[in-house]
A and B are shown apart, each in its own frame.
Chain A
Amino acid sequence: MTACWHAPLVAACLLALAPAGASEVVPLQVSGDAIGQPLHGLSGDAARGALVVRNRETGNCLICHAIPDRTERFQGEIGPPLAGVGLRLTEGQIRLRLVDPTQVNPGAIMPAYHRVSGLTNVDARHAGRPVLGAQEIEDVVAYLASLKE
């Protein structure tokens, strides 16, 4: 391991020691219609999750969903509104629906945000990578679970 701290291997070592990054997918542990445990045991941050939900380059959730925030002028209506989702679903149920909604509904139009298999014709820049990393998933879970009304 000492060699590990020689440049330019430092970055690789840090990656290996860090929790799953954007390019890694956590093995699924589904029970019923939920993933009960946080991915990699990470804890989510609702404030960071709120940013991922709005970010057009990462989550971009508002292209299809609406959140209870009147300052967001253009919100989507393809998926159900997210107001009160924290009352309707448990954290584990939200987690599975983000990771891979087709596990709940095989015909779901919503993309799987943390799955890399079973996809067709993926652009090379995104191949082998999930849309959201494990930490981002946990942050969005925390945010959505906080939407109680």
Chain B
Amino acid sequence: MRAGAALLACCWAATAFAGEVRAPRAFLSPELQALQDDPARHPGWLWVEQGEALWRAAPPDPGKQTCAGCHGDITGMSGVAARYPSVASDGALLNLELRIERCRTEQQGASAFGDESEALLSLTAAIAARSRGQPVNVRIDGPAAARLAEGRRLYSLRQGQLNLSCQQCHEENVGKRLRGDIISHGVGTGYPAYRLEWNGLGSLHRRLRACSLGVRAVQAPFASPDYLALELFLADKARGLAVEAPGIRR
């Protein structure tokens, strides 16, 4: 009986482990974990501070509000990034960057910052940092359901000259060594992230473009429907994991 119970417990443990998605932080070295955890040393905080300044900065049209003018202090953005990407009232799937650009063009009457611009990365990092430690909890019902399904399809699609899907590495070979790297679950909770390889802050879509290049597939543009659907799928996969943005990545 006791042996049976032990066996059952083993099976449960194995099942739980198979379904478990570990936080990206768990795949960092102790040194990089410490760097990610310490805003005083984390180079991404240069962008956070710049973003907090932009939050309070007057838009080009003096008749328009600053971000803070409508939203209040940026501390009020706590938890927002954990809910993105999210479907807007007009049905468009928006990530945090696109949400900021909409506010910028529609509410502030200004021109968009532009994909991957330092200003957009800074504001995104500053807002996302306010959700650090909070569990990812995106909506996948209603209009999001079809985009999630599209993201899942792309995740398992073998692509490129090297004919690899995201899933083959980030589900089926997690924890194994790829040259000097350990394959993670590939979730995007640390983005925008300061990546050592970039010597700077970059978005999840920049990272996805690097993945596409790696398997020698066509790189989709920033904010493309494909990458947005993948971003939603990855956020659903990361459900319950803490937001790490701005993360430190290799």
Q: Which residue numbers of A lie inside 8 Å of B, CB to CB?
A: 62-64, 73-78, 109, 111-112, 119-127, 129, 131
A123 touches B217 (CB 8 A): yes
By beta carbon, the residue of chain B nearest A119 is B163
Taking a contact as CB atoms under 8 Å apart, the answer to whether A120 and B159 are in contact is: yes
A123-B173 contact in complex given A64-B178, A76-B178, A129-B161, C-beta closer than 8 Å? no
Q: A78-B173, A78-B176 are known contacts. Are A123 and B160 too (CB-CB below 8 A)? A: yes
> Known: A109-B173, A122-B217. Contact between A74 and B179, CB under 8 A?
yes
Cβ of B180 and Cβ of A74 under 8 Å apart?
A: yes
Q: A121-B218, A123-B216 are in contact. List 14 more A-B contacts (CB 8 A).
A: A75-B177, A77-B176, A78-B169, A120-B163, A121-B159, A122-B159, A122-B160, A122-B216, A123-B212, A123-B217, A123-B218, A123-B219, A124-B218, A125-B216
Q: Are A122 and B161 in contact (CB under 8 A)?
A: yes
Q: Residues 157-188 of chain B: 1 if any A CB is under 8 Å from the residue's CB, otherwise 0? A: 11111111000110011001111100000000
A-B contact count (CB 8 A): 67
The answer to whether A121 and B217 have CB atoms under 8 Å apart is: yes
Contacts of B159 in A (CB 8 A): 120-122
- Bin the interface of chain B by size: 20 to 34
B residues adjacent to A (C-beta < 8 A): 157-164, 168-169, 172-173, 176-180, 212-213, 216-219
Partner of A126, one of B158, B164, B178, B216: B216
Q: Distance (Å) between the CB of B4 and the closest chain A CB?
A: 34
Q: Chain A's nearest CB lies how many Å from the CB of B142? A: 29
- Whether B217 lies near A112 (C-beta < 8 A) is no
Some 28 contacts from A to B, beta carbons below 8 A apart, are A62-B179, A64-B178, A73-B180, A76-B177, A76-B178, A78-B176, A78-B178, A109-B164, A111-B161, A112-B163, A119-B160, A119-B163, A120-B157, A120-B159, A120-B160, A120-B217, A121-B157, A121-B159, A122-B159, A123-B212, A123-B217, A123-B219, A124-B218, A126-B161, A126-B216, A127-B161, A131-B161, A131-B162
